[in-house]
Amino acid sequence: EVQLVESGGGLVQPGGSLRLSCAASGFTFRTYNMNWVRQAPGKGLEWLSYISYSGTTIYYADSVKGRFTISRDNAKNSLYLQLHSLRTEDTAVYFCAREESGWYYLAYWGQGTLVTVSS
């Protein structure tokens, strides 16, 4: 069974940093491209970042480019999102999701981890 479990969320002050993790199991992690998506309270889904299976290709949404860094450790079956220079508007539930090859849809999602940016 495919499982994605996010962790690392919490309360952080504006300007602070946080590292989110996504632990993958039930599939060959090193062969799948991965994504991060977030959802602010009461708002819609916002795509944030993509990393290819090898880690060599990375994309970001403009809203987080230069502040967030996506990475992966295929030996540990783990995906990461490093968050820097956090703003109150970064408060959201952060989801990791597995991308399927061919049509690039997100078939599997984690349950999400909540990041709250507040003083």
Partner 1 sequence: DIQMTQSPSSLSASVGDRVTITCRASQSISNYLNWYHQKPGKAPKLLIYAASTLQSGVPSRFSGSGSGTDFTLTISSLQPEDFATYYCQQSYYNPRTFGQGTKLEIK
Binding site for partner 1 (CB under 8 A): 35, 37, 44-47, 50, 59-62, 95, 99-100, 103-107, 109-112
**Please, which residue, 47 or 53, has the CB nearer to partner 1?**
47
**Please, which residue, 46 or 116, has the CB nearer to partner 1?**
46
**Please, which residue, 28 or 57, has the CB nearer to partner 1?**
57
Shortest Cβ 81–partner 1 spacing (Å)? 15
CA 54 to chain CA centroid, Å, is 16
As given in the structure block, the two tokens for residue 33 are 């491209």
Shortest Cβ 111–partner 1 spacing (Å)? 6
Which amino acid is present at 43? K
Shortest Cβ 112–partner 1 spacing (Å)? 6
**Please, which residue, 39 or 71, has the CB nearer to partner 1?**
39
